[in-house]
Chain A
């Protein structure tokens, strides 16, 4: 989760962050725009770490979505369990 355009430089305390919604809320509290990063790379387990549309819709307050990232680990080409076609067909 990126916070774009925050008010001040320095370290950010995320100890209280437990959920994706918490991250979004913190991004906004910092004065930033919430950007959901690499939705296909949100966890360590193959196929289980993909942030689906349904799960994203359970949150509110995010404005931007990163749809492509240059790091191979972001699984931008999908996974055997969750191929790109399945991801794109999610409502």
Chain B
């Protein structure tokens, strides 16, 4: 059984909120990964059995474009850990929140991340840009 993530010991303002997803502003992406550099089957076999991990790669919180959902990174981490997630990435709008204090090796992974926005008034879908 997975151990409880004791973030309050790491970060004093950790919240002990139970699993109660606050839907407004919280995104639950299912990700279709296109892995250009995937290992071949032989390499996978030599690496041992595969494991399935559950993560959330699109989260907003106070100060990052969604002030109504989570107050701080510790609250985000605790909530997702309690919900059975293995990793998260908080993606503020043009701001990388420092979630490194919530990374617990072997228990819970936090990636630094950001949602990039364009404020130039151009809708990027109409201007996809070049193929490189």
Q: Beyond A64-B57, A67-B31, is A14–B118 a contact (Cβ under 8 Å)?
A: yes
14 contacts between A and B (CB under 8 A): A2-B89, A2-B91, A2-B116, A5-B113, A6-B112, A9-B100, A14-B117, A19-B130, A22-B118, A42-B124, A42-B125, A67-B29, A67-B31, A70-B28
- Our pick among A27, A30, A43, A63 for the contact of B33 (Cβ within 8 Å) is A63
Size of interface on A: residues with Cβ below 8 Å to B: 54
- Cβ contact within 8 Å between A20 and B129: yes
Q: Is B94 an interface residue (CB 8 A)?
A: yes
- Cβ contact within 8 Å between B116 and A1: yes
Q: Beyond A37-B115, A70-B23, is A9–B125 a contact (Cβ under 8 Å)?
A: no
Q: Beyond A2-B89, A60-B131, is A8–B96 a contact (Cβ under 8 Å)?
A: yes
Q: Nearest 3 A-B pairs (CB), nearest first?
A: A21-B129, A19-B129, A9-B98
- Cβ contact within 8 Å between A59 and B115: no
Q: How far is the CB of B130 from chain A (nearest CB, A)?
A: 6
- Cβ contact within 8 Å between A20 and B58: no
Q: Beyond A70-B26, A71-B27, is A32–B132 a contact (Cβ under 8 Å)?
A: no
